[in-house]
Structure 1
Amino acid sequence: MKPAPFKYVAASSLDHALSLKAEYGDEARFLAGGQSLIPAMNFRLARPAVLIDINGLADCAGVHRAAGKGVSVGALTRYRALENDRDFLNACPLFADALPHIAHPQIRNRGTIGGNLSHADPASELPAVATAMQALMRIRSVSGEREVAASEFFAGLLTTDIAADEMLVEISFPEAAPRSASCFMEVARRRGDFALCGVAAVVTLDDDGRCANLRLALCGVGETPVDASEACAALIGQFLTDKAIGAAAAAVPSAIEPSGNVHATPDYQRHIAGVLTRRAITTAHHRIGHAA
C-alpha cells in the first residue's frame, strides 16, 4: 500500500511548525518517528493533506531535571535515548520496566515519546505509565501554551486534548518519591505485540512500612488508559501483606470495562488485569524493601 498524495514541509523551527499547524489545522499531521503514522497512511487509515516534518527540532528533544520540579522530557526524545539514560531511569524507574515492552529495538530507535502519547493508542504502554505517574503535558500553539494532566489528556480512542493548532512539546514527570518503587507488567501474544492487558503500579510506604500512596493504571482494557487507583484505595494505611494485596487486586476486574478483541475475551482481560495488579503491586513492594 502507498499513502494518499500529501504535501511535505520540513519545519525549520518550533515556531515554524506551529505556524504551519495553525494554517492547515486538522489537514496537517506532525511527522516525528512515524512508527504509527506512516503505516496508517500506507493503509489509507490516515490521509493528511500536509505532513509537517519536525525531526529537525533539536530543542524539542532531551531530558532535563530541575530541583523540586521533577523530570521534563522533550516530545521528540526517542525511546532508545530514554532506555540509555541511566539518570532518567533512576529518577523515573517505571520506564525501565515499560520501555522494553514497546515493539522492537528498530521501532524504539525511531519512535518518540511525544508521538506515542499524542497517538493515544489505549493498548500502548506509555499512556498508562504517564497516567500512573500523574505526568503533566505541555502543549503549545502560536497563541501560547498550557499544561494538561495525563488524567485529562487522553480523551478517547486515539484522541487527546490537543487542539487542531497545537503540539505536545514536553512531558513532565515527578521523580520517584522516597520509600517508593514501581512496576510495569503486561501480557501480549508475542513479545513486541500490543498488550492484551498491562498494569503500571507505583507504591509509596510511610515510615512505619504501611502503604502511604498507590497509583495504578492499565492499558489495553479501555478506550483510554484506565486509572484504577481507586479500586486499590483500601490498601492506603495498610501493611501490604499478600492477603491485603490479593483482596485489592480482586476489585480491579470489576472496575474496568474491556471490550475484548480477536485474541482475548473481556472476561480473560479482566482476569489478567487482576493477576497483573497483584503481581505488580507485590513486585513494587518488594523492591522498596530491597532498596532499603
Structure 2
Amino acid sequence: MKARAFSYARPSTIEEALDAFASAGDDASYIAGGQSLVPALALRLQAPSLLIDLAHIPSLRGVELKDGWLRIGALTRHCEALADPLIARHAPLFSAAAPFVAHPAIRNKGTLGGSLALADPASEFPAMALAMGAELEIVGPRGARRVPADDYFVDLFQTAIEPGELLVAIHVPAVAERHRWAFDELARRRGDYALVGGGILAEMTGDRVDHIRIVFFSVGSTPVRARQAEAALTGRSLIPAAVADAQATIDADLAPPDDEQVPAAMRLHLARVLLGRLLGRIAEPA
C-alpha cells in the first residue's frame, strides 16, 4: 500500500508547528525521525491530511544540565543517547538501553521524543524514562506543562499528550553518586522486541536501598513499575533473601498478556529471572 496524499509543512519554531496543526483542524501528524510513522502511513493506519516536519526546529534539539535536571530535546536521536557524555553521566539508563533499540540504521534516525510520544509498551526508552522518574515537557495551545512519567503513560499507545500538543523535551533528575542502575532485556535475537525487559535506578547508602524504581516493559499495555518489589527492597540490603522476596512479588506486580507466541506464565518467569539479574548488578560494589 501507499500513503494517502497529504500536504506538507516545515515549521522553524514550535509556535509555527502548533499553528500548522490547528490549521488542519486536528487532521495532522507530527513527524520527527519517522521510524514509526512512515510505516503507519504506508499501511494507512494513519492518514493525516497534513504532515508537519519537526526536524528543522532548533529548540527541539540539545542536551543541557541545569538546576539538577538534564533537559534532553525531543529531537535527540537514539544514537546520540548512546554517545552523548551528559546523557551517559546524568541519565545513564537511556545510554544503557540505547544499544538494545532495534538496529543502527533505525537508531541513526529515530528520536527520543518520537519513542516517548508513540509509547510502544515494548520499547526501551519510555520504560527507562519511567525508571528514572523523568518529567515530560509538553507544549500546546494553552501553554507548556511538565508531566511526571508516572502520570504520562495512560494506556496502549495513549499518553497524556492531547491532540494538537507537542512533546518538546524530556527532563531527567540527574543521578548522584549514591545512585546505582542496571538495564537488560531478554529477546530471541538482538534487535528484536524484548520478550521482557527492565531497568532499575536505586539510591543506596552503602549496601542498603534507600529508594528504588523498578520498571518492566513488554509486560502490559504500558511500562510497568514493580511497586511491590520496590517496597520489598526499600530499607534492606540486597542479600539473597531480599532479592527472593522481591522476585516473589512479580505475580502481583505484573499482569502480562497471554498469547500463542509468549504465554503470560513465561513472561512472568522471565521477569523474575531478569529481576534477579538486575538486582545482582545493583548489589555489586560501585
With the shorter chain as reference, the TM-score category is over 0.9
State the number of aligned residues: 286
Q: Which residue of 2 aligns with 1:195?
A: 194
Displacement of 1:25: 4.9
Q: Which residue of 2 aligns with 1:16?
A: 16
CA deviation profile, 1:176-224 (whole Å, cap 9, x unmatched): 1222211111111211111111111112212x53111110011111101
Q: Which residue of 1 aligns with 2:72?
A: 73
Q: Which residue of 2 aligns with 1:244?
A: 242
Cα distance in structure 2, aligned partners of 1:100 and 1:26: 35
Cα distance in structure 2, aligned partners of 1:135 and 1:99: 17
The amino acid that maps onto 1:76 is L
CA contact (8 A) 1:253 1:274 kept: no
Q: Which residue of 2 aligns with 1:177?
A: 176
The amino acid that maps onto 1:134 is G
Which of 266, 278, 281 aligns to 2:279? It is 281
Displacement of 1:262: 4.3
Which aligned pairs between 1:29-178 and structure 2 lie closer than 5 A? 29-66=29-66, 68-178=67-177
Cα distance in structure 1, aligned partners of 2:146 and 2:9: 27
Q: Which residue of 1 aligns with 2:256?
A: 258
Cα distance in structure 2, aligned partners of 1:241 and 1:130: 27
Q: Which residue of 2 aligns with 1:27?
A: 27
Cα distance in structure 1, aligned partners of 2:37 and 2:78: 16
Displacement of 1:236: 1.0
Structure 1 segments of 4+ aligned residues over 2 angstroms from their partners:
22-26, 229-232, 260-263
Displacement of 1:26: 3.6
Displacement of 1:22: 2.4
- Specify the SS of the correspondent of 2:108: helix
Cα distance in structure 2, aligned partners of 1:80 and 1:100: 8
Cα distance in structure 1, aligned partners of 2:70 and 2:258: 35
CA deviation profile, 1:90-129 (whole Å, cap 9, x unmatched): 1122122211110001001000000000001000011110
Q: Which residue of 2 aligns with 1:231?
A: 229
CA contact (8 A) 2:228 2:249 kept: no
TM-score (structure 1 length as normaliser): 0.94
Moved more, 92-101 or 264-273: 92-101
CA contact (8 A) 2:196 2:267 kept: yes
Task: Identify if the C-alpha distance between structure 1 residues 61 and 262 changes in structure 2 by more than 3 Å, giving closer, same or farther.
Answer: farther
The amino acid that maps onto 1:216 is I
The amino acid that maps onto 1:222 is G
Cα distance in structure 1, aligned partners of 2:180 and 2:261: 32
Give RMSD over aligned pairs. Answer: 1.4
- Specify the SS of the correspondent of 1:18: helix
Which of 267, 270, 278 aligns to 1:269? It is 267
- Specify the SS of the correspondent of 1:110: coil
Gaps of at least 5 residues in structure 1 are: none
CA contact (8 A) 1:232 1:251 kept: no
Which of 197, 210, 220 aligns to 2:218? It is 220
CA contact (8 A) 1:203 1:281 kept: no
Cα distance in structure 1, aligned partners of 2:271 and 2:25: 38
